[in-house]
Amino acid sequence: MSDRRLNLLWFIVPVIAVGILLVGLWPGDQNIEDPEARAYNLSVSLKCPICAGESLAGSQTDLAKDLRAQINEEIAAGRTDEEIIDAFVAAYGEQVLLDPPSTGWGVVLWAVPLGVLAAGLIAIVGLRRKDRDPAGVKK
């Protein structure tokens, strides 16, 4: 292939690819997720109340089996994810949430890592050469 054709290829491929991606991913109707996927997502974000640190999805206890069945029933009955989660919190307390709400104490859970990020960024910027000598910088 000649250089010119190669350059053309460098141009055409991305243009076509971006076109396909734009058309394909243009936000359209949010299709309703299938109930089994919803049930799984709920069962990984709820802790099995009697288990040592396992989610409902991961636990083999009878209670976890029953609760998974309960989630399926509630989805079939048309409840939203929030309603189901609220019902679990009402029954077993906030400790069933594997994703603690980001209010109250939950703020700390996000604020501290963000603080670390900020400190790291500042430290990296501080590493930049102060006595910058353009002559010493090779290409």
Among 2, 32, 129, 135, binds other proteins (CB under 8 A): 129
Cβ atoms of 91 and 40 within 8 Å: the answer is: no
Size of the site for other proteins (CB under 8 A): 52
In angstroms, what is the minimal distance from the CB of 49 to other proteins? 10
40 touching other proteins, by CB under 8 A? yes
139 touching other proteins, by CB under 8 A? yes
Cβ atoms of 46 and 54 within 8 Å: the answer is: no
1 touching other proteins, by CB under 8 A? no
Cβ atoms of 85 and 97 within 8 Å: the answer is: yes
Cβ atoms of 110 and 117 within 8 Å: the answer is: no
Which residues are registered as beta bridge partners of 97?
A: 46
Site for other proteins in 60-99 (CB under 8 A): 60, 65, 93-99
Among 32, 52, 90, 135, binds other proteins (CB under 8 A): 52
Which residues are registered as beta bridge partners of 47?
A: 55
